Amino acid sequence: MRGGAGHGTRVSGGDAQAQRAENAAAPKIPDLLKRIGELFAPHKKQLAVTITLVLVSAALSVAPPLLTKQAFDLGLFPEGGPNIPVLVELVSIMVLLWVASAALGVWQTWLTATVGNKVMGALRVRLFEHLQAMELAFFTRTKTGIIQSRLQNDVGGVAGVLSNTISSVIGNTVTVIAAFVSMLVLSWQLTIVAVILLPILIFAQRRVGQVRARIATKTQESLSDMTAITQETLSVSGILLAKSFNQQSSETDRYALENQNQIGLQVRQQMSGQWFFAMVGIFLSVIPAVVYLAAAWLIVRDVPVTAGTIVAFTTVQARLTFPLLGLMRVALDLQTSSALFARIFEYLDLKPAIVDAPAAKDVDRAGLGLVEFDDVVFRYPDASNETRATLDGVSFRIEPGQFAAFVGPSGAGKTTVSYLIPRLHDASSGSVRFAGDDVRDLKQDSLVRNIGIVSQETYLFHASIGDNLRYARPDATNEELVAAATAANIHATIESFPDGYDTLVGERGYRLSGGEKQRIAIARVLLKDPAVLILDEATSALDSISERIVQDALDTAANGRTTIAIAHRLSTIVDADVIFVVVAGQIAESGTHEELLAARGTYWQLYFEQDA
C-alpha cells in the first residue's frame, strides 16, 4: 500500500467520524410520504389539470350506468312498448360520454406519464449530484455497482408506480365514492349486500402489502449485488483478472448464484398477494349473483325493485368494486415502492463529511503556490487511540515555484500528504494551508481549481483523446489542445493515429500504452494550468524508456509552478529543491539530494538500495 492510500476505506477527521454516526441512522426515513409528496411540488399546475381531468372522467364514468336504468325503464320496457326515440337519445348520450371519457383518459395519461417521469428524472439527477458531493472515503468503502443500482434499479423501480399513482388514486377514489352514492340512490338494501365484506378485504390487503415491501427490499439488495458483480467482473480490469487466473467459470457461478436468488425473490414478489387477489376476483364475480338473489328476496316482500334498477345497480356495483380493486393494487404498489424510496432517501440523507465552511472564501491569488503543513495529525476514525496515526505531527513549508519531493518506505504516509492538500481528506488536527489560508476556510471549488494531480493510475473515459483532454477545460480550442499535447510529448503520437485527436481510447484508456496514457493525463493537467502540481508516483509503473519520455513531459509540466512529487523511484527527484523523507507518518529528514546523501540517513539507505 502506498503512503497510506491503502487505508482509503476509512474516513478522516473527528468531524467526519461524527458524520458517520449520523449517517448510520439514514435508513430510518421519517415522514416518508411527506417527502415523496414534496417531489411533486414543482409540478403543481400539471397536477391540478390532471386532478380536474380525473374528477371529470370519474363523473362521466358513473353517468352511463344511471342512463342504463332510464334506457330499460323508459326506452325498452315502458308501458305501451319500447319507446325508440327516447332509447336512441339515451344511447347517443351514453356513446358521447364514452368518447369524451376516452379522450380525457388519453390526455390524463400523457400528463401523469410526463409528471411521473420528470419527478423520477429530477430525483435521479438529485441523487447523482448528491453522490458527487460525497467525500472520497465514501466511494472507497462502497462498491460502484451498489451505487449504480440505487440510481438505476431503485429509482427506476418507483417510476412506473408514481406515473400512475396520481390518476389511479384520485380517479378510483372519486369513482368509488360516486358509485357508492349512486348505489345508495338506486337501492340502499342492495348496497349493504354489496359492500358488507369489503372491510375484510382492505385489512387483508394491508397485510399482503407489508409482506411485499419486505420482499421488495431484499429484491433490490440482490439487484445491487448483481450490478456490483457485473460492474466488477465485466470491466476491462475484471476480465483481464479473470482470464489471467482462469476464473471465468467461478465468476459465472458467482453471478448465477445471485441470479438464482434474484429469480426466487422475483417469483415470491409476484406471487405474494396472488391468493388475495384471486379471492377478491371470486368475491367480485359472486356479488352480482348475490345481488340478484337479494333483489328477488326484496321483490317477494313487495319492496319496489324494477328490472332497470337491478341492471343499473350491478353495472354501478362494478364501477365500485373494480376501482376499489385498483386502489388496493395501488396501495400494494405504494407499500412496495416505499421500500425503494427508503433506499433512495437513505443515500440522500447521507451528508458529506467534507463541506465548505459558511464563510469559505476563494483562494488568495497573491499567495498562490505556497503549501504549508503545521503539526498535522491524520488518523482514521475507526482506528483505536493505540494505533499509530497515519501522519503524526507533520510540518513543512513549500515555497511558490519549488519542486518538493516526498519519499519513504511503503505505507509511510506519503500519498496521504497529497490527499490532504486538495482536501480529499481532512486533517484530524493541525492545519493544512494553501496560499496562506487553512484549506478548511477555502471554497473547495476554488481550491481544486488551482491544483492539478497526475497519479500512477491514470483514468481516461471511453471517449476520444480530444474529449479526454477537454475534461480539464471544456472550452479549450484545438490549438490549445495541440499546445498542451506538444508540451506533454504526446502530440506526434496522437497525429500518428488514423483518427488523430478523435481516436477512441477505449475503457479506462486500454487501447493506449501506459506511457501514452500518462502523457495524455499530463497534457490534461497542462490544459488546466494549475498553480500547484501533485505527482503521485506518476512514472513508477512504466518501463525505463516510457519513464524517460514521461519524465521529460513532467519536467515541462512542472516548469513555473509549485510541484509536489510522491516518488518511488528516487532517480526522478534528484533535482528537487527539497526532499522530505517520510517514515512511520513523520518527516525523518529533509534537504536536497546532496545534503541527504551526505547525512547518510534513511534517504541514503533508500537511494543506494535502489541503485543496487
Q: Cα 350–156–322 angle (5° rounding)?
A: 120
In this structure, is residue 98 part of a structural domain? yes
Report the Cα 262 to chain-centroid distance in Å.
21
Mark whether 344 and 464 lie in a shared domain. Answer: no
Least confident of 264-273, 344-353, 558-567: 264-273
* CB atoms near residue 499 (< 10 Å): 11
Q: Which amino acid is at 503?
A: T
Mark whether 327 and 468 lie in a shared domain. Answer: no
pLDDT at position 213: 63
Does 374 have pLDDT greater than 90? yes
Mean pLDDT across 319-337: 69
Confidence class for position 25, pLDDT limits 50, 70, 90:
very low
The CATH number of whichever domain residue 505 belongs to comes to 3.40.50.300
The pLDDT > 90 percentage for the chain reads 9
The parent domain of residue 495 ranges over 458-529
State pLDDT tens for residues 565-593: 888 888 888 888 999 999 988 899 999 99
pLDDT at position 88: 78
Last residue of a domain, one of 529, 558, 577: 529
C-alpha cell at 418: 497529497
Mean pLDDT across 536-561: 72
**Of 287-296, 332-341, 489-498, which has the strongest mean pLDDT?**
489-498
Last residue of a domain, one of 503, 529, 555: 529
Distances (CA, A) of 469 to 218, 503, 527: 42, 12, 7
The candidate with the shortest Cα–Cα distance to 515, out of 544, 486, 556, is 544
In this structure, is residue 452 part of a structural domain? no
Does 434 have pLDDT greater than 90? yes
Looking at residue 442, the DSSP 8-state letter turns out to be B
Does 151 have pLDDT greater than 80? no
The CATH number of whichever domain residue 90 belongs to comes to 1.20.1560.10
Residues 368 and 531: beta-carbon distance below 8 Å: yes
pTM of the complete model: 0.68
Burial of 256: CB neighbours in 10 Å, binned 0-12, 13-18, 19+: exposed
Mark whether 40 and 158 lie in a shared domain. Answer: yes
d(CA 484, CA 523): 5
d(CA 479, CA 496): 17
Number of structural domains the chain divides into: 2
Mean pLDDT across 251-271: 80
Q: Could you tell me which residue, 340 or 440, shows the higher pLDDT?
A: 440
In this structure, is residue 430 part of a structural domain? no
d(CA 580, CA 566): 10
Mean pLDDT across 342-354: 83
Give bridge partners of residue 582 from the DSSP assignment: 587
In this structure, is residue 175 part of a structural domain? yes
Mark whether 145 and 284 lie in a shared domain. Answer: yes
Residues 81 and 65: beta-carbon distance below 8 Å: no
d(CA 113, CA 104): 14
pLDDT at position 347: 83
Confidence class for position 611, pLDDT limits 50, 70, 90:
low
Last residue of a domain, one of 332, 348, 364: 348
In this structure, is residue 225 part of a structural domain? no
Confidence class for position 164, pLDDT limits 50, 70, 90:
low
Does 248 have pLDDT greater than 70? yes
Distances (CA, A) of 428 to 11, 391, 484: 10, 9, 38
549 Cβ contact list (under 8 Å, min separation 6): 489, 515, 519
CA trace torsion 204, 209, 210, 213 (10° rounding): 170
pLDDT at position 202: 63
In this structure, is residue 65 part of a structural domain? yes
Mark whether 343 and 467 lie in a shared domain. Answer: no
The candidate with the shortest Cα–Cα distance to 250, out of 279, 273, 229, is 229
**Of 212-216, 271-275, 606-610, which has the strongest mean pLDDT?**
606-610
Does 431 have pLDDT greater than 90? yes
Confidence class for position 371, pLDDT limits 50, 70, 90:
very high
pLDDT at position 17: 47
Mark whether 48 and 191 lie in a shared domain. Answer: yes
Residues 524 and 458: beta-carbon distance below 8 Å: no
Only one residue has cell 501533485, namely 534
Distances (CA, A) of 156 to 162, 335, 337: 10, 16, 10
Residues 299 and 309: beta-carbon distance below 8 Å: no
In this structure, is residue 577 part of a structural domain? no
* CB atoms near residue 78 (< 10 Å): 13
In this structure, is residue 435 part of a structural domain? no
Quick check: helix, strand or coil at residue 452?
strand
pLDDT at position 375: 93
The candidate with the shortest Cα–Cα distance to 524, out of 488, 577, 478, is 488
Q: Which amino acid is at 244?
A: S
From first CA to last CA, the distance across the chain in angstroms is: 23
d(CA 347, CA 555): 43
d(CA 405, CA 97): 82
d(CA 472, CA 521): 10
- Per DSSP bridges, beta strands 429-434 and 371-378 are antiparallel
State pLDDT tens for residues 506-535: 777 778 887 888 888 888 888 888 889 888
Residues 517 and 509: beta-carbon distance below 8 Å: yes
Mark whether 199 and 339 lie in a shared domain. Answer: yes
Give me the phi and psi of 581, to 5 degrees please: -100, 115
